[in-house]
Chain A
Amino acid sequence: MSDEKLWSLKNRWVTGSIAILLAIGLLAAAVGFIWLPRAHADENLAASLWESICRAAGVPARYDSPPLGAQAGASNVIVTAQMMAPADSAAIGRGATLAMRCTMCHGARGMSPAGSPHLAGQPAAATYKQLRDFKSGHRASAIMAPLMNELSDQDMRDLAAYYAYLPRERMSQETTEAVPRLVRNGDPMRNIGACASCHTVEVLKPASPWLDGLPESYLHQQLTAFRHGERRNDLNGQMRNAARGLTDAEVTALARYYASR
């Protein structure tokens, strides 16, 4: 008959096993939560002890991205009527190869339901200018900026040529909506020019994109960014000046109108 009591501090199995387990656990925790994160910590971040423990435990931290689009000035792209060389098939072919990495968001043929802007049929100068601005940081995007890093000037020209070459397809239903006055005439009393004077397929203004059928969410977002001065890569503040006076309702109506064309 065993009279040995299991749960007793005199039982060395109990005290010993708990002590060993605690020792292993504490040692492992000290290495995993204090030593390794401290050793790996970015010196510039100079994390405190508590911060490195939290980081090792997986507490979600606010992500502080480096400031995007902090470049002074609107853009360093010089927009002229002759800025793009006439498209040749070699450039278009190279662009098509480079565009493989764009398909996830912009679609296999430059049109996508993902909410990102359609590129098919856009004037080459418009696409090229935006790529340059993403690369230089004049236009802010956490997604586009890193993708631009390794593109050369020629790469960007080829990409623009390829997208200009693609046919523009219609993704939305034909609309019978009347053209809003702001699009037709603008509002001269508020110093707002007519949208159609630049953003019409037939106008062919250098570096100004057509907007017909672009995703409504994208149009709304960009117009709002121009209006609040968060997007600043428009030459001479053209877009910012036009958008500054718009009301919320007008921004919504314009985005809806262009998206439905």
Chain B
Amino acid sequence: MLNLETRRLVLWHFWIAFIAFFLALLLGEWQMYIRSPLRDWIGNPELYYRSVTAHGSAMGYVFPTLVAMGFGYAIVELALKQKLIGRRWAWTGFWLVVVGTVTAMIPVSMGLASVLYTFYPPLIGNAFYYIGVVLVVVGSWIWVALMSVNLHAWKKANPGATVPLAMFANVAGAYLWAWTSLGAAIEILFMILPVALGFRNTIDAGLARVFFSWTLHAIVYFWLMPAYIAFYTLVPRAIGGRLYSDTMARLSFILFLVFSMPIGIHHLFQDPQVGSGVKFLHAVFTGMVSIPTLLTIFTITASVEIAGRLRGGTGALGWVKRLPWHNPMMLAVAFSFILLGFGGAGGLINMSYQLDFAVHNTQWITGHFHLIFGGAIVIMYFAVAYDLWPHLTGRALKNGRAMRWQLWLWFFGMIVLTFPWHVVGILGMPRRMAYFDYSNPAIAPQAITVIVTFIGGLLLVVSGLLFLLVLARGHRSELATVPTFSFSVPVHMPARQPAALNSFGLWLALMIGLSVVNYGYPISQLIGLPQTSVPAVPIGSQP
């Protein structure tokens, strides 16, 4: 059971996360609108990039970080069944994230930092934007430390016992984030901020991009962690089944820990400052990171099949019909897998050195990451919120119909949004475009796809609004006795897990070792190269 104080903590995390999410969602839809043929061009591309920066920063840094933090605090109490240690620190972390978000968003909304959330040096925006992002990250580092502290306290109190899967996965996500956020932190603190504060006026853009790639890929796996924790520990229980294998789940999470970070250079396939051999190495390890996802799809599908058969389903596919399709969690996991399937297939294309040439920097990429993050991951955030809400509010969460509508709208809207992007991406439509000249005969036939993505976005906005309404109404329904929270139970729980699957030492060592192998040479070589800095390009009027 959740302590009353912890409930408040988690609710604050979730509400700020979802409000940031909704505002960013509105901005995204506005971007779709103003560049579609549905209205005249606004005339100023800077407004568009201002919006993209706010949309990306809120969706990429604020929303998933707060969800992971809130969910992590809940897991400590629900899985370890111990009081959260360091609640005051947790509030400090929360306020750092909030203050950081406001600090970053003020210069962005004033048009002083339209550099997009991936920074893109040599573009340099207002220093407060970067300082805000650093505050958000520092806030999340407090969470990382608290997860580690709570796990160690539990291990001390329960020597030799197997760490509950939810907590094991949660801490894996925390360690992954700590290590991967280092790249962007180095980039901001040592490369961008000195320029933004006026101490220097040149920047080594190539090296900065390499440091950002350190963060850029694994950050997605940090976003993914709450979704995967939900797959393994919430879905089988919620639909009345069993988890097919606890060991497989642990394996997936440690594989993420080892492989998801030292592969980021596949974002730099078209960058000249990194050698082709290094790129190939990263492509191979990017291929390796599909293994934990494939393991997960197998394990969860097997777990769902168990639920279907327990409910009386028979035959090769008869169990599918018997699944509890009215259950939001069931819908969410099905939708998430479909979107993950399309997004993952696209991802395998992006990671192939040669195929990437065709789609690099096109709308295809925008489609890909919206499918994975906006689709597969965020739909599970919804499911997590629906599942936890009664335990956070102490009130029943009704409105099953509204929840189903919300999930259907999100699923359908995301497909309508992203599929046209994939098509025009192959046709060569570049991403990050503020404006399309529809009077150009070469572009005119693609205008319809921009209208379609606008309609997809509209469905997403309706779904997002519905989501907030369901949660808000959850606060006003009558108090109910909520059953004790439980995580899913595996079919077969091994009496003892091997030490390697019950601790992180080995995997952290491999993660760091592999990072040194894969990033050591490119980074040290670029640091050593003379004359690689270029003049910074200030964005917005500088103070």
Which A residues form the contact surface with B (CB < 8 A)? 1-2, 4-7, 11, 13-14, 17-18, 21, 24-25, 27-29, 31-33, 36-37, 53, 55-60
Task: List the 7 closest pairs (A to B, CB-CB), nearest first.
Answer: A58-B275, A56-B277, A32-B280, A13-B500, A28-B284, A1-B160, A33-B277
**B502: Cβ under 8 A from any A Cβ:** yes
Stretch in contact with the other chain, from B167-175, B234-242, B403-411, B503-511: B503-511
The interface residues of chain A lying within 8 Å CB-to-CB of B276 are 32, 36-37, 55-56, 58
The interface residues of chain A lying within 8 Å CB-to-CB of B89 are none
Q: Kindly state the separation between the CA atoms of A2 and B496 in the bound complex, as whole angstroms.
A: 8
Q: Are B285 and A59 in contact (CB under 8 A)?
A: no
The interface residues of chain A lying within 8 Å CB-to-CB of B273 are 58
Nearest chain B CB to A192 CB, angstrom units: 39
As a 0/1 sequence over residues 437 to 450 of chain B, the CB contacts with chain A under 8 angstroms (1 = contact) are: 00000000000000
**B498: Cβ under 8 A from any A Cβ:** yes
Q: Kindly state the separation between the CA atoms of A21 and B513 in the bound complex, as whole angstroms.
A: 10
The interface residues of chain A lying within 8 Å CB-to-CB of B503 are 6
Q: Kindly state the separation between the CA atoms of A11 and B501 in the bound complex, as whole angstroms.
A: 12
Q: Kindly state the separation between the CA atoms of A2 and B163 in the bound complex, as whole angstroms.
A: 12
Q: Are A31 and B280 in contact (CB under 8 A)?
A: yes
Q: Kindly state the separation between the CA atoms of A31 and B510 in the bound complex, as whole angstroms.
A: 22
The interface residues of chain A lying within 8 Å CB-to-CB of B385 are none
Stretch in contact with the other chain, from B99-107, B135-143, B215-223, B517-525: B517-525
As a 0/1 sequence over residues 514 to 543 of chain B, the CB contacts with chain A under 8 angstroms (1 = contact) are: 100100011001000100000000000000
Q: Are A4 and B498 in contact (CB under 8 A)?
A: yes
We find that the number of chain B residues with CB closer than 8 angstroms to chain A is 32
The interface residues of chain B lying within 8 Å CB-to-CB of A25 are 281, 514, 517
How would you classify the secondary structure of chain A's contact residues: helix, strand, loop or mixed? helix
Instruction: Known A11-B500, A25-B514, A28-B285; judge A53-B506 contact (CB<8 A).
Output: no
How would you classify the secondary structure of chain B's contact residues: helix, strand, loop or mixed? helix
**B42: Cβ under 8 A from any A Cβ:** no
The interface residues of chain B lying within 8 Å CB-to-CB of A37 are 276-277
Closest A residue to B254 using CB positions = A17
The interface residues of chain A lying within 8 Å CB-to-CB of B280 are 28, 31-33, 36, 56
The interface residues of chain B lying within 8 Å CB-to-CB of A57 are 275, 277-278, 521, 525
Q: Are A32 and B159 in contact (CB under 8 A)?
A: no
The interface residues of chain B lying within 8 Å CB-to-CB of A21 are 258, 510, 513-514
Which of A14, A56, A58, A60 is within 8 Å of B506, CB to CB? A14
As a 0/1 sequence over residues 488 to 499 of chain B, the CB contacts with chain A under 8 angstroms (1 = contact) are: 000000001011
The interface residues of chain A lying within 8 Å CB-to-CB of B502 are 2
Q: Are A56 and B500 in contact (CB under 8 A)?
A: no
Q: Are A14 and B500 in contact (CB under 8 A)?
A: yes
Q: Are A36 and B505 in contact (CB under 8 A)?
A: no
The interface residues of chain A lying within 8 Å CB-to-CB of B159 are 1
The interface residues of chain A lying within 8 Å CB-to-CB of B1 are none
The interface residues of chain A lying within 8 Å CB-to-CB of B517 are 25
Nearest chain A CB to B158 CB, angstrom units: 10
Q: Kindly state the separation between the CA atoms of A68 and B363 in the bound complex, as whole angstroms.
A: 41
Closest B residue to A8 using CB positions = B499
Which of B281, B496, B525 is within 8 Å of A32, CB to CB? B281
Q: Are A29 and B500 in contact (CB under 8 A)?
A: no
Which of B284, B506, B525 is within 8 Å of A59, CB to CB? B525
Ordered by A's residue number, 16 sampled pairs between the chains whose C-beta atoms are within 8 Å are: A1-B159, A13-B501, A24-B285, A32-B277, A32-B278, A36-B276, A36-B280, A55-B276, A55-B277, A56-B278, A57-B277, A57-B521, A58-B274, A58-B278, A58-B522, A59-B275
Q: Are A6 and B278 in contact (CB under 8 A)?
A: no
**B402: Cβ under 8 A from any A Cβ:** no
The interface residues of chain B lying within 8 Å CB-to-CB of A24 are 284-285, 288
Which of A6, A27, A60 is within 8 Å of B500, CB to CB? A6
Q: Kindly state the separation between the CA atoms of A163 and B457 in the bound complex, as whole angstroms.
A: 51
Closest B residue to A32 using CB positions = B280
Q: Kindly state the separation between the CA atoms of A33 and B160 in the bound complex, as whole angstroms.
A: 45
Q: Kindly state the separation between the CA atoms of A27 and B273 in the bound complex, as whole angstroms.
A: 24
Nearest chain A CB to B278 CB, angstrom units: 6
Q: Kindly state the separation between the CA atoms of A31 and B281 in the bound complex, as whole angstroms.
A: 9
Q: Kindly state the separation between the CA atoms of A53 and B281 in the bound complex, as whole angstroms.
A: 13
Q: Are A18 and B510 in contact (CB under 8 A)?
A: yes
Q: Kindly state the separation between the CA atoms of A165 and B222 in the bound complex, as whole angstroms.
A: 63
Closest B residue to A1 using CB positions = B160
Q: Kindly state the separation between the CA atoms of A13 and B500 in the bound complex, as whole angstroms.
A: 6
Nearest chain A CB to B535 CB, angstrom units: 16
Nearest chain A CB to B213 CB, angstrom units: 14
Q: Kindly state the separation between the CA atoms of A56 and B282 in the bound complex, as whole angstroms.
A: 13
Q: Kindly state the separation between the CA atoms of A27 and B280 in the bound complex, as whole angstroms.
A: 11
Closest A residue to B532 using CB positions = A60
The interface residues of chain B lying within 8 Å CB-to-CB of A2 are 160, 496, 499, 502
